[in-house]
Structure 1
Amino acid sequence: MVEPLRPPPRSARDDVLTYIKTLHGHQHHDQLVAVRSLFTWAKQNGLIFRNPAGRIKVGQYEYAMLQPLVPVQVDRSVAVATTPATRLILTLVAVHAARVAQIVTFMLNDTDLGNRRRTIAGRVRPPDDLTTQRLLDWLEHRHRRWPNTANLHPLINNQTANTSSRAGSHWISAAMRGQDATLERLRVDRQLEEARVKGPDPLHLAEDFGLDEKTAMRYADSARAQLPQAAEQPSQ
């Protein structure tokens, strides 16, 4: 009597593939990266003889389409910016797409009020009345509050006014924490707006905001996908 063929025993690699197939999008990418890292560590430390995930390719991560903020979300963040400091921070992000890490390293000599020029993260930004006014408001408040400070960082607080240290990122971001339009989302929205208004040109975005090639292309692709949608919407 001929015995029926039995399926080959499942391997650890089969188990990994079965699990990964149940995931999608960023979860698929992140979990596979984590599994590969775990098995690589186990093999390097002699816990296993073969890495079952070693030949499974992670592949390129497919980012979700960037979506613009809606006006009510922006309005709520504007409403909570009630101090000269938070209004300046909000302007640096919403107008110039400055990162929090760039704001905390902003120096007094990065601003030339006479020529209305300011440098953020090594890039000279074009003058605009709103940023100039917000900066003047803050510097006037700063002078009244800490007239003898020698700190060369424009944005200072009670902890840094009598030192040369910069303010912390947590303090910079505090006012917008919990809002839909956080500083990071406002920064992304500003760059996406540029791509929508000026055209989805990754070279322009890379030059204007100092983006790397892949990031600039992501903004351009997102803006390009939304332009037809905007054209189809009836005018108010």
Structure 2
Amino acid sequence: MLIDWSSGYDHLREVTRDDVLAQLDALHGGQRQHTLIVLRSLFRQAKKNGTIFKNPTSRIRVGQREYGILQPLEPEHINTSIAAVTKPADRLVLALAAVHAARSGAIRRLQVDDLDIGNRKLTIDGRIRRLDDLTLHVALEWLEFRRRRWPDTANLHLLINKITALGTGPVSGVALSEPLRGQAATLEQLRVDRQLEEALVHGPDPLHLAEVFGLDEKTAIRYANSARTLLDQAAEQQLR
């Protein structure tokens, strides 16, 4: 992950909490715990030496990434993030996070063959998703750009750039997050918001959330509990 960050940032002080969470996103159990401990030690020492001013790993727990009731994003924050992405690849990444709640790691791992335009299907980490109109549109836009820009690339990853087009590896995590850097709605927040929206619209059912997004039991229950609380609060306000 330090290599990923170095490809997009010039200094450790540029790394944000969202960057750390995005890297931890694909890790579980002991691996996640070990990685977080190492990052805490690194940034704690960097802050002590005056290399950085703020520790991006502060308040991140090993077994719990967020605290309290999850809150939906404000519409204006989502609209601002949408307006901030102007390149075909960035628009596809945003759709994958905001519509399909795809994790950063899963987006980076996507292969060209995971996108089935004819049958309007998209496979994300082994789970088949239906291609909605928006995702289909930005996917076609990206595929056309990709074909024209790098017609002879041997890289089978769906998302490539001028660096990875010369090889076979995935784009970096920084390459995905950079277009929304500084925005109120980042890729990670859009992903969380999409899962919360599902719980609010279709009911706070953890089994449904686990089936749709492939969430583990603990995470699905947390989204369901947050949605239930928000729905109860909304009902109470209507009665006043």
Task: Specify if TM > 0.5.
Answer: yes
RMSD of aligned residue pairs (Cα, Å):
1.8
Q: How does 1:103-118 map to 2 (within 5 A)?
A: 103-118=107-122
The correspondence for 2:135, drawn from 131, 136, 151, is 131
Report SS of the residue matched to 1:124: strand
Shift of 1:68: 0.6
Matched, 1:102 2:106: yes
Q: What does 1:84-233 align with in structure 2 at a 5 Å threshold?
A: 84-231=88-235
The separation in 2 between residues aligned to 1:179 and 1:167, in whole angstroms, is 21
Residue 86 of structure 2 aligns with an amino acid whose one-letter code is T
State the identity %: 59
Picking from 69, 90, 101, the partner of 1:65 is 69
For structure 1, the 5+ residue unaligned runs are 1-33, 35-59
Structure with bigger helix share is 2
What's the TM-score, normalizing by structure 2? 0.70
In the comparison of the two structures, how many residue pairs are matched? Answer: 176
Tell me, in whole angstroms, the C-alpha distance in 2 between the residues paired with 1:168 and 1:162: 14
For 2:200 and 2:234, the matched residues in 1 are separated by 10
Q: What TM-score results when the alignment is normalised by the length of structure 1?
A: 0.71
Structure 2 unaligned segments of length 5 or more: list them. 1-36, 38-62
Deviations 1:54-106 (Å, cap 9, x if unpaired)? Answer: xxxxxx97931101100011011001011101100000000000000000000
Instruction: Select the structure of larger CA radius of gyration.
Output: 1
Measure, in 2, the Cα distance between the counterparts of 1:122 and 1:230.
Answer: 36
- Say which SS state the counterpart of residue 104 (structure 1) adopts: helix
Provide Cα deviations, 1:108-127, integer angstroms capped at 9, x if missing partner: 11111111111001100122
**Corresponding residue SS for 2:151:** coil
1:147-191 residue CA offsets vs partner (Å, 9 max, x unmatched)? 111210111101011211111111011111111101000000000
Letter in 1 for 2:132: D
Q: Secondary structure at the match of 2:109?
A: coil
SS state at 2:123 partner: strand
